[in-house]
């Protein structure tokens, strides 16, 4: 709203600084600071309100070192994150950009799902929370919304690089350097193409995975495959973020690193010069994703102020499900979803540790009559906690691992 107001006033009056709001980098910087400020200012008030009504007592049964003092720490702190993301986004982002609205819808959708789960746990005193099948339905629903929007929306397009003289060349972009380079682009079109890491010709069209005998229907089959991939990624990443939210500052710190990386990748994908230089997909309009991810990073830093050890508040499912959804949808929009195992490696490891623990326990119980465990406790961060490693050390080491994986994900743009 502020962006549109200043743009409108700038078209009528010439005043200093008006053009700054036309720069993505400026609005992203303001977004970080504004969302951080909102998190710090409103966070304290929200925590105060939560402490009046909420008591977190499920930690009493874990038997982990340092967990007893957390039983009276309020949850549902994800409300701080959501407020600090949505308000600055609506102020600073281009609200005519459909990518902005797709991210807002994703945030609200999974934020509401997580809030309902936390509400049942805290206010209804039902530790099971929202039943798992309803969570899955909500996650699958968002996956369908995102994939259908990308399939039907006229604004969600890509532009291919074409050789000089190609009959379908629609635009020529020239950059001013010592040796000017001409970039030939095709007509904007919808695409089921994504980026494959480590390959020189690093693009995969999901349509090629559909059977050839479908003929003209093969394109539709490609979109169905894309929809299934989207549903899987949204569900997996949101659940991975939820499982990682088990220590003070762990999920927030890891998500900050992932958010910064996705912001960089979104900027590169939206800039025709960088996209051509790196030979990645050029996706017009995704520059606004940089502003959105900047507000996510700022909101998480503000939340981390209160969530760092010893935490004054936990994000709960309200925050963790929403963060996972934001990360997944952003990666899908900029067609970097195949980088998620590296980019979200901590979420991936945490999820796999739970799958291994549960699967092995059930297998050994059937085979030997008594279940056995691979880890002392799952998710993986609790395994190290059971080994009496300090919580702060575990969290910082997971942050370091997340940073190294993020660097590796960015390097895949050049390593082929």
Q: What is the mean pLDDT of residues 190-198?
A: 87
The 10s digit of each residue's pLDDT in 205-234 is: 899 898 888 888 888 899 999 999 999 999
| pLDDT of amino acid 175 | 59
| pLDDT of amino acid 300 | 97
Instruction: Tell me the two tokens of residue 18.
Output: 């008006």
Enumerate residues 6+ apart whose C-beta is below 8 A from 264. Answer: 410
Enumerate residues 6+ apart whose C-beta is below 8 A from 151. Answer: 190, 223, 226, 227
Of residues 35 and 415, the one with the higher pLDDT is: 35
Q: Would the pLDDT of 172 be above 90?
A: no
| pLDDT of amino acid 180 | 66
> How many alpha carbons fall within 13 Å on the CB side of residue 104?
18
Q: Would the pLDDT of 414 be above 90?
A: no
The 10s digit of each residue's pLDDT in 87-116 is: 999 999 999 999 999 999 999 999 999 999
Q: Which of these ranges, 153-167, 305-319, 375-389, has the smallest mean pLDDT?
A: 153-167
Q: What is the mean pLDDT of residues 152-156?
A: 89
Q: Would the pLDDT of 397 be above 60?
A: yes
Q: ∠255-260-263 over CA atoms, to 5°? A: 120
Instruction: Tell me the two tokens of residue 179.
Output: 């040796």
Q: How many residues does the chain have?
A: 416
Whose structure tokens read 């720069």?
Answer: 23
Whose structure tokens read 């499900």?
Answer: 321
Of residues 150 and 199, the one with the higher pLDDT is: 150
Q: What is the mean pLDDT of residues 293-303?
A: 97
The 10s digit of each residue's pLDDT in 335-350 is: 999 999 999 999 999 9
The 10s digit of each residue's pLDDT in 29-84 is: 999 999 999 999 999 999 988 887 654 444 444 555 555 556 678 888 999 999 99
Between the CA of residue 342 and those of 9, 41, 159, 161, what are the distances in Å?
Answer: 44, 34, 26, 27
| pLDDT of amino acid 66 | 55
Enumerate residues 6+ apart whose C-beta is below 8 A from 409. Answer: 197, 261, 339, 342, 343
Q: ∠80-82-88 over CA atoms, to 5°? A: 100
Q: What is the mean pLDDT of residues 154-171?
A: 78
Do residues 382 and 64 touch, judged by C-beta distance below 8 A?
Answer: yes
Of residues 162 and 366, the one with the higher pLDDT is: 366
Q: How many CB atoms lie within 10 A of CB 181?
A: 12
For the chain, the farthest-separated pair of C-alpha atoms sits apart, in whole angstroms, at 80
Instruction: Tell me the two tokens of residue 164.
Output: 């000089």
* Domain limits, the chain: 24-158+192-411
| pLDDT of amino acid 68 | 54
Q: What percent of the chain has pLDDT over 90?
A: 61
Do residues 284 and 270 touch, judged by C-beta distance below 8 A?
Answer: yes
Phi, psi of 83 (to 5 degrees): -60, -45
| DSSP labels, 7-45 | HHHHHH---TTGGGGG-HHHHHHHHHHHHHHHHHHHHHH
Q: What is the mean pLDDT of residues 234-253?
A: 94
Phi, psi of 194 (to 5 degrees): -135, 170
Q: Would the pLDDT of 302 be above 90?
A: yes
Q: Would the pLDDT of 268 be above 80?
A: yes
Look up the pTM and report it. Answer: 0.92
Phi, psi of 173 (to 5 degrees): -110, 135
Nearest-angstrom CA–CA distance, 5 and 79:
28
- Grade residue 285 by pLDDT with cuts at 50, 70 and 90: very high
- Grade residue 363 by pLDDT with cuts at 50, 70 and 90: very high
Q: Would the pLDDT of 263 be above 70?
A: yes
Looking at 249-344, list the stretches that DSSP marks H as alpha helix, in order from N- to C-terminal side.
250-270, 272-278, 288-307, 316-333, 340-343
The DSSP element (H or E) to which 90 belongs, if any, is helix 78-92
Tell me whether the omega of the peptide bond preceding residue 310 falls within 30 degrees of 0, making it cis. Answer: yes
Number of helical H runs and strand E runs in the chain: 14, 4
Q: Which of these ranges, 59-63, 168-172, 189-193, has the smallest mean pLDDT?
A: 59-63
| pLDDT of amino acid 25 | 92
| pLDDT of amino acid 215 | 82
Between the CA of residue 344 and those of 169, 239, 325, what are the distances in Å?
Answer: 37, 12, 12
Q: Would the pLDDT of 165 be above 90?
A: no
Q: Would the pLDDT of 145 be above 70?
A: yes
């Amino acid at each position: 709203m502020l962006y549109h107001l200043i743009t409108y006033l700038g078209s009528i009056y010439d005043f200093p600084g008006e053009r700054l709001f036309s720069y993505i980098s400026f609005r992203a910087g303001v977004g970080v600071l504004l969302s951080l400020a909102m998190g710090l200012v409103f966070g304290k008030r929200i925590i105060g309100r939560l402490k009046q009504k909420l008591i977190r007592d499920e930690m009493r049964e874990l038997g982990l070192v340092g967990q007893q003092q957390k039983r009276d720490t309020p949850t549902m702190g994800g409300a701080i994150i959501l407020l600090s993301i949505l308000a600055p986004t609506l102020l600073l982002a281009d609200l005519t950009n459909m990518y902005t609205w797709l991210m807002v819808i994703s945030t609200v959708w999974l934020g509401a799902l997580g809030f309902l789960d936390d509400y049942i746990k805290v206010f209804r005193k039902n530790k099971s929370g929202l039943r798992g099948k309803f969570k899955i339905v909500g996650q699958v629903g968002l996956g369908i919304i995102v994939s259908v929007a990308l399939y039907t929306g006229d604004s969600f397009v890509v532009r291919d690089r074409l050789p000089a003289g190609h009959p379908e060349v629609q635009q020529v972009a020239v950059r001013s350097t010592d040796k000017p380079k001409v970039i030939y682009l095709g007509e904007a079109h919808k695409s089921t193409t994504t980026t494959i890491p480590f390959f020189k010709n690093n693009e995969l069209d999901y349509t090629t995975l559909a059977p050839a005998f479908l003929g003209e229907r093969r394109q539709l089959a490609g979109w169905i495959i894309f929809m299934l991939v989207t549903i899987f990624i949204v569900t997996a990443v949101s659940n991975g973020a939820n499982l990682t939210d088990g220590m003070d500052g762990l999920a927030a710190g890891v998500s900050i690193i992932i958010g910064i990386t996705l912001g960089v990748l979104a900027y590169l994908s939206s800039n025709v010069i960088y996209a051509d230089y790196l030979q990645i997909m050029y996706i017009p309009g995704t520059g606004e994703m940089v502003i959105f991810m900047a507000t996510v990073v700022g909101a998480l830093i503000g939340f981390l102020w209160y969530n760092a050890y010893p935490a004054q508040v936990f994000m709960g499912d309200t925050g963790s499900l929403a963060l996972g959804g934001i990360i997944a949808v952003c990666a899908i929009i900029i067609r970097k979803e195949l980088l998620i195992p590296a980019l979200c490696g901590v979420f991936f490891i945490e999820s796999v540790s739970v799958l291994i623990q549960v699967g092995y326990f059930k297998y050994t119980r059937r085979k030997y009559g008594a279940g056995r465990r691979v880890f002392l406790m799952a998710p993986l961060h609790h395994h190290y906690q059971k080994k009496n490693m300090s919580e702060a050390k575990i969290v910082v080491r997971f942050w370091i691992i997340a940073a190294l994986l993020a660097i590796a994900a960015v390097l895949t743009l050049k390593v082929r």
